[in-house]
Amino acid sequence: MNTKWKLFLIATLAFPAQQVLSQDWMVPSDHTALTNPSEYNLENIKKGKELYTRNCQSCHGDPGKNNPLALLPLPVDIASERMHANSEGDLFYKITTGRGVMPPFESTISENERWKLINFIMNFKPGGNQLLVDAPPVKVKLLASVNENKSTVEILAEREDAESTGLENAPVIISAKKTFGNIELGRAITNENGRAEFTIPENVIGDEEGYVSIVVSMGDGYDAHEVALEKAKVGKNKVVPRLIKGEVLWSTNNNIQLWLLLSYISAAGGAWLVIGYAIYQIIKIKKLSKSS
Amino acid sequence: MNKIESPEESRKKFDRIFTDLTRSIVKKDELTRFWFFILLMFIGVGLWGWIIQIDKGLGVTGMRDYVSWGLYIANFVFFVAVSLVGLLISSVLQLLNFSWGKTISRAAEQIAIATVALAGIIIVMDMGRPDRLLNVFLHGRFASPIVWDLTVVSTYLAISVLLFYIPLIPDLAIMRDRMGSKVPAWKLKIYTILALGWNGNPQQYAIVYHAVRVLMILIIPIGLSIHTVTSWLFAATLRPGWDSTIFGPYFVVGAFVAGTAALIILMYVYRLRYGLKDYFDDFHFDKMGRLLVLVCLVYLYFNINEFLVPAYKMKSAEGVHLKDLFSGAYAFLFWFVQIAGIALPIVLIRIKYFRKPLPLSIISVFVLFSAWFKRYLIVIPTMEHPFLPVQNVPEHFHHYAPTSTEIMIMLFSFFTSIFIISVLAKFFPVITIWEYAEEKGIDRKYFTEKS
Amino acid sequence: MENKNRRNFMKTLLASIGAAGVAGSSSILSSCDRIEAVDGDKITLLTSSGELVEVDKSQLKPAELPSLSQNQKQGREGLPGKSWVMVIDLSKCRNARECMKACQNHHQLRPEQHHINVLQMQDAEHTAPYFMPKPCQHCDNPPCTKVCPVNATFKREDGIVLIDNERCIGCRFCIAACPYSARVFNWFEPRDAEKYEGVTYNIEANVPQKKGTISKCLFSADLLRDGKLPSCVSACPNGVYWFGDRNEDAVTNGTTKETLSFSKLLSEGAAYTLMKDLGTEPRVYYLPAKDRAFPFTGEQV
């Protein structure tokens, strides 16, 4: 293929995609003019945040972080200029009707709640009056170790800024590493010294020798490097039952049922022995004609 | 039969038998040439279709992901079915001492060889990668019904060829000695080689009887397994319509019906074409008619079992399938097959008139056609009704309709099998000469006399 | 004491593996199927997921691709100690079909070929309709491998039912045997056949596809080998899929990356398997379509 062809291909392939992206999502003018009946206050924004987390975040991502799901067209960040080019009425229409990969929420979120959701979106309007401000995460130095004898995790959380004072009442998450992610084993709350102890449940499954990789991290609102405690012998041995064993019909010839193989060989072999015998008779006829 | 005749009379009688039974070999006319031209033309067209299929892929057929077995497999089952006539006529009847079966056993073996050989070829034509046929021998899994099927098909073919050849040896010697200038020299040479220098001594005859008897017994389990294993290709799956325990015997009996009908037609063709009225006579047709009624009755019994029992229960998936057969898209075909293929022969052939050669042959044509459609009904409707709904695929994935390429390749199989039968009839007598002459009380010593 | 030493040793070992993993990330790029165009120091590559990416030439390192026979061997053995399972939460499925698209890109499938197919189901006249993604069930008593005459489809120790399309003879007996309609056939030349020409066959992705052979869902066995989730699982925008190792009793959601106990998810969600009365023992579990957060419109989104 030469370059010309490739260009043509790229152009033809790219054209419809571009069209989808650039095509404006037209909103009837009467909808654009609608005003939000839900008052813009902290309470409504908080309610809207809840709704956003449950219904929207999986696609649109965290506000301002620009981390939407890779869909076509890409979901727009709710803190972006593009999002806020819409009037509140536009947003209401779009949430209600949906389009393409964006589902309609007409019957799943009530009208009142949809407006509260818009309150939350408006919280991120560039240059707007942001009422709900997430407190900057507390920087934490997290230390942890595993006591294999007691089967516990000992945790020390300290403020990083001050003179390393213990962090009180902070939630700590203890998880175990699995093939594709960490499974939460439980949470612990630090005491006044910033210490916490977590007893590892007995039924945690480790590797084939019972070694578990423990991960300790902090809950929301805290900024800490997670601590990975590799290979602690605190879990049950992972049992790996053999799947292909004995005589199974669905496996290879190595696992074939003996009776089946013997039947096959004796039936086919027997038949061909008899056929061989018949051919031998033919040879005998030939021999007889020579002898007499 | 035991009447002692004068040498003169015996010679004359044997001469007549010889002339009659070798007419198919010496006969040369426009019609023969035209017949072979037609056969070869269709074979060529079919092969061309296969080349297209290999080049473009199996997508040239009407098969798709849901109906993934179509005409070819239906046709394969049909051919395996028809081939079973070899077992019925040249083994079961002989072992039960029905002597009238002797006359027709060579024709039965011709059908058996031609159809079972084609069954093997059809399987290869149905494969997505025929170039990898060798994998079956390199990596064959002994737990797969396909490996069993290939084993029994090849075994059955070998036995059928031997059952055709061994009783033919004395005939070959007779032709070697008596044909002279009636056939071209190369044909005579073939007879000479194949006759193995037969000189007609009693020991040789004893060996022929012995070998044939051994093979007759062997072909019974092999013949039964060839069609039973073929039925397991379906019965071993979980699909409604195939998931049945009686498929083995059901297929075997259906095969007897199809094979008997095919043999009656072939007998009628030989009788007409080669002037064998006195050989395939009314008596043989009468007997064959009775046999057809018998196997049809047994087949009826199996059909009632196969359809009535699930229809009584109407399990969900099975119910969809049965409704489609009884009153849905396949209703016409289904009832046609049941009536023309089973009910009609049972009712009509019991009347003596319909056991005469022509009426019986006409009925047999209907039975044979029904037998083919019956295989179609066994394979396709079941595949159209999987357990889960057929969705998100183009419309033509939902229903099966054979394409022209597929029909071309199917015609190839029909015409090739007829071609094999025609060639066998053109080379070898269609009735065993020595056996027939012996039956008529002619002494063996006259057989090898040069004319 | 001894234990501690061992742990330290394991730590350093893991650290070195981790570093190797970072360095190795560029080799993922070099394992791209084919170089499309060379332009100065930048190079455009076609990734295995069907995307065109532009990368710096200096990033490229020759990857060590296993040879065909090696690939077939390791593909038949499977991943040691694993027992893969999938849980499909029907209450989450909105028929977005991202799984189907990702799958078709990964496995070089035509639009009508589905390794995973989202079906619209309704169990009885008055019951609610629902969407049901249906991949291969990777049965523990697989009817398909039972009937294969040449051992071209087979079960691995880690539970995956795989296909070797270098061996398949195209008899389609496995299609007839499969009660879940999970198998597709290459009736014609596969999609983009010319693009994949000369690419070494990867048995764990069944790519390149070949005319006249079978294909079906393989739980993206090639991705699992790299420690990644199957392409359908990670493509889902709605959190429908959970995937993991049954031996360690954990499944991870492809959308939220949340990891839960497999047994707990099944028992709390009242999980079931498809057509269990057939005795096929599927490895794909379904959570019933109850408490759905969206209406069933019955049409493709």
pLDDT tens-place string over residues C110-164: 999 999 999 999 888 888 889 999 999 999 999 999 999 999 999 999 999 999 9
When pLDDT is cut at 50, 70 and 90, the band that residue C47 belongs to is low
CA B446 vs. chain centroid, Å, equals 34
Do you find a cis peptide bond into B381, omega within 30 degrees of 0? no
ipTM metric: 0.90
When pLDDT is cut at 50, 70 and 90, the band that residue B206 belongs to is very high
Q: Using one digit for the tens of pLDDT, what is the confidence trace for B51-77?
A: 999 999 999 999 999 999 999 999 999
The more confidently predicted of residues C98 and A99 is C98
The vertex-A123 CA angle with A117 and A124, nearest 5°, equals 110
| A132 phi-psi bin (left φ>0, alpha ψ -120 to 50, beta other) | beta
Helix (H) or strand (E) holding C23: helix C2-30
How distant is the Cα of B406 from the closest Cα of chain C, in angstroms? 14
- Lowest average pLDDT, out of A26-35, A68-77, A185-194, B21-30, goes to A68-77
Query: How many CA atoms lie within 13 Å of C215's alpha carbon, on the beta-carbon side?
Result: 31
How distant is the Cα of A99 from the closest Cα of chain C, in angstroms? 9
Any alpha helices (H) in A56-100, and if so which ranges?
A: 57-60, 81-84, 88-97
Do A92 and A21 touch, CB atoms closer than 8 A? no
Q: What is the rounded distance in angstroms from the CA atom of residue A219 to the CA atom of residue A224? A: 9
Residues whose CB is less than 8 angstroms from the CB of residue B295 and which lie 6 or more positions away in sequence, other chains included: B253, B256, B257, B260
CB of C276 within 8 Å of any CB in chain A? no
* The two structure tokens encoding residue C106: 């990964």
Query: How many CA atoms lie within 13 Å of A266's alpha carbon, on the beta-carbon side?
Result: 6
CA B360 vs. chain centroid, Å, equals 18
Do C261 and C54 touch, CB atoms closer than 8 A? no
CB contact under 8 A, A275 and B169: no
CB contact under 8 A, C170 and B127: yes
Average pLDDT over residues A102-129: 85
CB contact under 8 A, B197 and A256: no
Q: What is the rounded distance in angstroms from the CA atom of residue A275 to the CA atom of residue B426? A: 27
DSSP bridge partners of C284: C86
When pLDDT is cut at 50, 70 and 90, the band that residue A109 belongs to is confident
For A275, nearest residue in chain B (alpha carbons): B159
CB of B124 within 8 Å of any CB in chain C? no
Which domains are seen in chain A, by residue range?
20-122 (1.10.760.10), 138-233 (2.60.40)
Q: What is the rounded distance in angstroms from the CA atom of residue B357 to the CA atom of residue B267? A: 9
- What's the one-letter identity of residue C144? C
Query: How many CA atoms lie within 13 Å of C25's alpha carbon, on the beta-carbon side?
Result: 7
- What's the one-letter identity of residue B140? G
For B394, C258, C296, the CA distances from C98, given in Å and listed in that order, are 20, 19, 18
Model pTM score: 0.84
For A272, B116, B158, B250, B290, the CA distances from A269, given in Å and listed in that order, are 5, 20, 14, 27, 37
Q: What is the rounded distance in angstroms from the CA atom of residue C131 to the CA atom of residue C122? A: 9
Buried b (16+ CB within 10 A) or exposed e, B89-119: bbbbbbeeeeeebbbbbbbbbbbbbbbbbbb
When pLDDT is cut at 50, 70 and 90, the band that residue C55 belongs to is low
Residues whose CB is less than 8 angstroms from the CB of residue C6 and which lie 6 or more positions away in sequence, other chains included: A231
Write the burial class of residue C127 (CB in 10 Å: 0-12 exposed, 13-18 middle, 19+ buried).
Answer: exposed
Q: What is the rounded distance in angstroms from the CA atom of residue A47 to the CA atom of residue B154? A: 77
For B72, nearest residue in chain C (alpha carbons): C171
* The two structure tokens encoding residue B125: 């034509």
* The two structure tokens encoding residue C128: 């609610």
* The two structure tokens encoding residue A275: 């056929």
Query: How many CA atoms lie within 13 Å of B133's alpha carbon, on the beta-carbon side?
Result: 11
Q: Which chain A residues contact residue B177 at CB under 8 A?
A: none
Give residue B181's pLDDT: 80
Buried b (16+ CB within 10 A) or exposed e, C246-281: bbbbbbbbbbeeebbbbeebbeebebebbbeebebe
Write the burial class of residue C4 (CB in 10 Å: 0-12 exposed, 13-18 middle, 19+ buried).
Answer: exposed
CB contact under 8 A, A260 and B142: yes
* The two structure tokens encoding residue C133: 């993604």
pLDDT at C33 over 80: no
DSSP bridge partners of A99: A102
Q: Chains touching chain A at 3 or more Cβ pairs under 8 angstroms?
A: B, C
Q: Which chain C residues contact residue B387 at CB under 8 A?
A: 179-181, 275
Which domains are seen in chain C, by residue range?
2-59 (no CATH), 70-287 (3.30.70.20)
C214: nearest Cα among B71, B243, B58: B58
* The two structure tokens encoding residue C103: 């799958």
Do B107 and B140 touch, CB atoms closer than 8 A? no
Do B109 and B166 touch, CB atoms closer than 8 A? no
When pLDDT is cut at 50, 70 and 90, the band that residue C4 belongs to is very low
CB contact under 8 A, A275 and B158: yes
Among C3, C14, C154, beta carbon nearest to A252: C154
Q: Is B399 helix (H, G, I), strand (E, B) or coil?
A: coil
